[in-house]
Amino acid sequence: MISAWSGEEYSYCWFIPFVALYIIWEKRVELARLVSAPSWQGLAPLGVGVLFYWLGELGGEYTTLYLSLWFVIIGIVWLHIGWRKMRIIAFAFMVMLAMFPLPNFIYTRVTVWAKMISSQLGVWMLHMAGMSAYREGNIIDLGFTLLQVVDACSGLRYILPMMLFGLLLAYWFKAHIWKRTALFLSSLPLSILLNSFRIALTGILYSVLGASAAEGFFHGFSGWLVFMASLPVFLLEMFVLKKLPPKEKGGRAAQVSAGEDADRFEKTKNDKAFLQPPLIVSMAVLLLTAGLSHAIEFRQHVAIGKPLSQFPLQVGEWKGARENMEQQFRDALMFSDYIIANFTDPQSKSINFYVAYYQDQRKGEAIHSPETCLPMGGWTFIEEGDAAVSLADGKSSLPVNRAFIEKTGVRELAYYWFPQRGRTLTKLYQLKLYAFWDSLTKQRADGALVRVITPVYPSERLEDAENRLQSFTREIVPVLDGYIPGKSLQQ
């Protein structure tokens, strides 16, 4: 989590723990007025946290571990102070959720969506300013130059912190619940609108300042300036909402004065005793969990059946040529073995074949799905869904993910699937659940990603590319079975 905070997308997360602590500190007088009542009910969120820990640890999923941390913190506090005090500081725990990075597939989808919306609105603003601009995907053609709305300019760096900003303002906004809800919900369109304005402003200034308007100090400074512009907009919105009915003095209970006599606060022995039985039990559960996770090896390293370097380059009528992946990508993907090859048929139509094998999928060392990687490479999904390939035996079929994608006018069709210990899976959640279960029951978390992708040539129909992928996949699957370990390691 701390490593993710080092990236620019989540740099705002460093402030969230301090914000949560301040919200709790703000409630200190109300908390002091109540009796701490250690409650066994806190074992429920603690138990959920421990379950999520094992799901994340054995399934190789960071998001589940983040949620585990959140539930464990809630459970420990609940066990120690009881439900009545937990209700008072519940909002602080809600805010804590914002410090966890989004799952990659959600982050990628939101980034692509935000880039498209920001590009469209940016072009509209350029037209309103009297400039000629044409958009193709996330590329804006200004005539004299091309502006590419990359991931860093998608606005996601504004959306997430601005929504948190709106949530905090709504929390402290003394108004009716509908006004506070409207204030929070307005943060999403506001962040997109301001980011679109920044893109349009970059295009306008490009003609004056040149490339420096789209890079370097000015580019970063303009992003900071646009984000700060949201504050007066929020304040203006709060002013308008205040004028609308119903008019109230406050939407929340008034804060208790911090200067009241502390002798009036009710105290019991429970307030003075820290090591209550529920807390002792919770500590024992956490220590046991930590001991088991470090003392027992739940997964064995399963070597690939045969090195993928030995994969034949002649499969049926298809002839292949290997490619090498750059070291930086190999380091990032952290697979155990791989192959990239371009296969061509007698008509010189090509298919790119890629297999990545993992002998043990752990946190940060698990399969990277094309569902995430392709959009990050600038590809837009025109169509996506499930498909099936009839195998050579005529009795069985192979389930695959199907994606029709486009990038700067180039169209391609892709199939991909995940051979996992004798199963063929197509969904990411299946990978995580089966990795968890097989780690417990088989001590195995090995698996592979297989992706085949072909261009949709200008002179052909989409059905022609579909038939080509179907034919190639049907030929390649029996060969691939000799390399990827199956249900039994003795196969």
Residues 374-412: tens digit of each pLDDT: 876 778 888 999 999 998 877 789 999 999 998 878 999
Scanning 60-103, the segments in alpha helix (DSSP H) are 62-81, 83-88, 90-96
pLDDT band at 371 (very low <50, low <70, confident <90, very high): confident
Residue 95: half-sphere exposure toward Cβ, Cα within 13 Å: 26
Distance CA 159, CA 165 (A): 10
DSSP state of 340: E
Look at 27 and 55; give whichever has higher pLDDT. Answer: 27
Candidate from 76-85, 187-196, 252-261 with smallest mean pLDDT = 252-261
Q: Is 474 helix (H, G, I), strand (E, B) or coil?
A: helix
Q: pLDDT-derived band of residue 153, with 50, 70 and 90 as boundaries?
A: low
pLDDT band at residue 260, thresholds of 50, 70 and 90? very low
Flag whether pLDDT at 77 surpasses 50: yes
**Under 8 Å between Cβ of 170 and 187:** no
Query: Which of the residue ranges 39-48, 219-228, 460-469 would you say has the lowest mean pLDDT?
Result: 219-228
Query: Quick one: pLDDT at residue 270?
Result: 45
pLDDT at 253 over 70: no
Min mean pLDDT across 41-45, 272-276, 427-431 is at: 272-276
- Measured from the Cβ of residue 139, the count of other Cβ atoms closer than 10 Å reads 16
Q: Is the pLDDT of residue 114 over 80?
A: no
The fraction of the chain above a pLDDT of 70, given in percent, is 86
Average pLDDT, the chain: 83
Q: Residue 309's pLDDT is what?
A: 93
Whether pLDDT at 10 is above 60: yes
Both tokens assigned to 75: 């459970």
Chain centroid offset of residue 221 CA: 27
As a whole number of angstroms, the distance between CA 480 and CA 400 comes to: 15
Q: What is the mean pLDDT of residues 246-271?
A: 47
Q: How far is CA 280 from CA 76, 276, 285, 292, 408, in A?
A: 10, 6, 9, 18, 60
Q: Which helix (H) or strand (E) holds 323?
A: strand 318-323
Domain boundaries, the chain: 2-101+267-295, 104-243, 308-480
The yes-or-no verdict on residue 3 having pLDDT over 90 is no
Question: Residue 211's pLDDT is what?
Answer: 61
Question: 60 and 366 in contact (C-beta within 8 Å)?
Answer: yes
At 223 the pLDDT is 65
Band (345; pLDDT cuts 50, 70, 90): very high
Average pLDDT over residues 165-179: 92
- For residues 89 and 126, the answer to whether their CB atoms sit within 8 Å is no
Look-up of token digits 């799952």: 103
pLDDT of residue 267: 46
Does the pLDDT value for residue 206 go beyond 80? no
Q: Report the helix count and the strand count for the chain, using DSSP H and E.
A: 19, 12
Q: Are strands 410-420 and 318-323 parallel, antiparallel or unpaired?
A: unpaired
pLDDT for the residue numbered 433: 87
- At 273 the pLDDT is 55
pLDDT band at residue 250 using 50, 70 and 90 as cut-offs: very low
pLDDT value for 320: 93
DSSP states of 397-462 as a string? EEEEEEEEEEETTEEEEEEEEEEETTEEE--HHHHHHHHHHHHHHTS---EEEEEEEEE--TTS-H
Least confident window among 61-70, 113-122, 248-257: 248-257
pLDDT for position 312: 95
Taking residues 50-55, report their average pLDDT: 90
Q: Are 384 and 402 in contact (CB under 8 A)?
A: yes
The whole model's pTM is what? 0.73
Domain 308-480 of CATH type 3.30.70: no
* pLDDT for position 179: 93
Residue scoring higher pLDDT (59 or 175): 175
Taking residues 125-148, report their average pLDDT.
76
- What mean pLDDT is predicted for residues 462-473? 94
CA separation for the pair 417, 453 (Å, rounded): 12
pLDDT (0 to 100) of residue 264: 42
Amino acid at 387: A
Cβ count near 271 (within 10 Å): 15
pLDDT of res. 99: 93
DSSP 236-256: HHHHHHHHSSSP-S-SSPPPP
Q: What is the pLDDT of residues 12-41, one digit of tens each?
A: 899 999 999 999 999 999 998 988 888 889
For residue 304, with 0-12 CB atoms within 10 Å meaning exposed, 13-18 middle and 19 or more buried, which class applies? middle
Range name among 6-15, 62-71, 168-177, 360-369 with the lowest pLDDT average: 360-369
Say if residue 175's pLDDT is above 80: yes
Check residue 51 and give its pLDDT: 92
Amino acid letter for position 219: H
User: Prior bond to 375 cis, omega within 30?
Assistant: no
User: What number is the average pLDDT over the span 176-204?
Assistant: 87
What letter does residue 482 receive in the DSSP assignment?
Answer: T
Residues sharing a CB contact under 8 Å with residue 393, sequence separation 6 or more, in sequence order: none
Crossing angle of helices 156-172 and 230-243, in 10° steps, is 40
Average pLDDT over residues 410-437: 91
pLDDT at 212: 58
Identify the top-confidence range among 37-51, 221-235, 257-271, 358-372. Answer: 37-51
